Amino acid sequence: ATAAVKVEKADAAMMEGIDAAFAGSGKDAATAKAQAIEQLANLASATPFVLPRLEKLVALFADSKLGGPATKAACAIVDSVQPRGHGVAAVVVPALLAGMEDKRWKVKASCIEVFAPCLRQMADTAPSQLATCLPLIVPRLAEAALEVRAEIRNATGAVLREIGAMVASPEIKKLSQELVTALAEPTNQKHTHGVLAKMGNQTFLSLIDPASLSLLMPVVVRGLKERDSMSKKWSAQIFGSTSMLVQDTDSMRPYLKTVIPMLEQALTDPVPEVQREAAKAFGVMEQVFPDYSRKSALPWLFGRLRDGEIGEQLGASLALAEVLLKMDKAKAAELFPEIEAGATDEKASVRRGFLELLETMPHAMKMDFVPFIKRLFPAMLMGISGDKDKDEDAGLKAASSLVARFG
């Protein structure tokens, strides 16, 4: 009943007074602003009036006297949003993300603190908005965990734990605390390595929810950046297995632009296991995100096959073989003329790339390759260069690979 009375008191004239106080300057300005902050806090549940003024509070977060009350008022306003979840993704999250760009530590710490009620609001009533916002928020929290100020790191840890509590996937729920620790303490590589090892040996059976993904993907990205080959291998493996189990594929898409370039790099890793897992991830992408695979991954892989160095050609051939294995058979058949033409190209370096692909395809596709033997075997034979070093003769390797598998 009290809240209802406060809502009734909120009107345009009162908001004009509050706006004037925030815009004021001079010796009495601080007192007027303090009163305006208190009014907004008291009117927290009058969402249509107070939510548009959140940015005015963010602007005061760095103030030595007004910062604390402004942060509390902002938390109260977000906590009291009515209808639940309304305007949080559209108004609050962008304002807080913009505030995190501020170089002043108090602004960053306070913006992070206000994320907690944001997440609770969206988790209750706007799961699709939460799924959209988490990929924007968590990477920024991972960056904030590296900050020098303990206040920023502590606020970050609290919000990450809030996200950890939202995790629904049973396999990830068991490890959510370890994922949070890995994100909150990024300088301790043992945390990242330890949780990747556990997840790499985990069989995922349940659908992966957006909260699980938001904790997983930054750790996967960090693992792909590591020098340690096992971390890279596990990360590529985890990306593939979780992609196949996401509740809604759209919740995974925001992460692709960060993860895919790292998987591309992993294709040329000196450790064969890392190459293989990265190649399999491209196959999974064709299976789960065929539109993205054909628009972005396929052109890049064929480009590396044509113009790349030998290491890039080998990595691209492994990935393309996995893509062709998972691709719709009719669609795959459309690519074979290009593959055949590439294997007989007049340019030796282009021939080599496509012949490397012809060597890997029978191993990956197994019996699915049989319908194409008659068409592609002549290109393999024509590609034999007679090089004394058999490892350098891509045509001979391709033909030998085919004979070894099918006789």
Are 95 and 58 within 8 A, CB to CB?
A: yes
The label of the residue with tokens 């628009």 reads 295
Per-residue model confidence (pLDDT) at position 149: 94
For 282, the 3-state DSSP assignment is helix
Could you give the count of Cα atoms lying within 13 Å of 388 in the half-sphere of its Cβ?
0
Separation of CA 314 from chain center: 27
Are 239 and 259 within 8 A, CB to CB?
A: yes
Per-residue model confidence (pLDDT) at position 156: 96
Q: What is the pLDDT of residues 244-266, one digit of tens each?
A: 999 889 999 999 999 999 999 99
How much is the average pLDDT of 107-129?
93
- Above 90 in pLDDT, residue 79? yes
Task: Among 56-60, 126-130, 147-151, 282-286, name the one with the lowest average pLDDT.
Answer: 126-130
Residue 390: partners with Cβ closer than 8 Å, 6 or more residues away = 396, 397
Angle between helix 329-343 and helix 373-382 axes, rounded to 10 deg: 20
- Above 70 in pLDDT, residue 8? no
Q: What is the pLDDT of residues 309-321, one digit of tens each?
A: 999 999 999 999 9
Per-residue model confidence (pLDDT) at position 7: 44
Separation of CA 61 from chain center: 29
Q: How far is CA 337 from CA 132, 171, 389, 396, in A?
A: 40, 44, 29, 21
Per-residue model confidence (pLDDT) at position 364: 87
Question: Per-residue confidence at 389, pLDDT binned at 50, 70, 90?
Answer: low
- Predicted TM-score (pTM) of this structure: 0.84
Q: How far is CA 117 from CA 69, 86, 199, in A?
A: 16, 13, 30
Distance CA 223, CA 233 (A): 8
Q: Please indicate whether residue 179 or residue 377 has the higher confidence score (pLDDT).
A: 179
Query: Buried (b) or exposed (e) across 262-299, using 16+ Cβ within 10 A?
Result: bbbebbbbeeeebbbbbbbbbbbbbbbbbebbbeebbe
Largest interatomic CA distance in the chain: 92
Per-residue model confidence (pLDDT) at position 89: 93
Question: Per-residue confidence at 390, pLDDT binned at 50, 70, 90?
Answer: low
Q: What is the pLDDT of residues 13-32, one digit of tens each?
A: 889 999 999 998 887 899 99
Are 243 and 255 within 8 A, CB to CB?
A: no
Residue 281: partners with Cβ closer than 8 Å, 6 or more residues away = 236, 237, 239, 240, 243, 263
- Above 50 in pLDDT, residue 134? yes
Q: What is the pLDDT of residues 83-114, one digit of tens each?
A: 888 889 999 999 999 999 999 999 999 999 99
How much is the average pLDDT of 374-401?
80
Question: Per-residue confidence at 167, pLDDT binned at 50, 70, 90?
Answer: very high
- Above 90 in pLDDT, residue 157? yes
- Above 90 in pLDDT, residue 366? no
Question: Per-residue confidence at 3, pLDDT binned at 50, 70, 90?
Answer: very low
Are 243 and 284 within 8 A, CB to CB?
A: yes
Per-residue model confidence (pLDDT) at position 6: 42
Per-residue model confidence (pLDDT) at position 388: 64
Distance CA 347, CA 354 (A): 11
Per-residue model confidence (pLDDT) at position 19: 92
Per-residue model confidence (pLDDT) at position 2: 42
Distance CA 171, CA 203 (A): 8
- Above 90 in pLDDT, residue 219? yes
Question: Per-residue confidence at 407, pLDDT binned at 50, 70, 90?
Answer: low
Q: Please indicate whether residue 189 or residue 159 has the higher confidence score (pLDDT).
A: 159
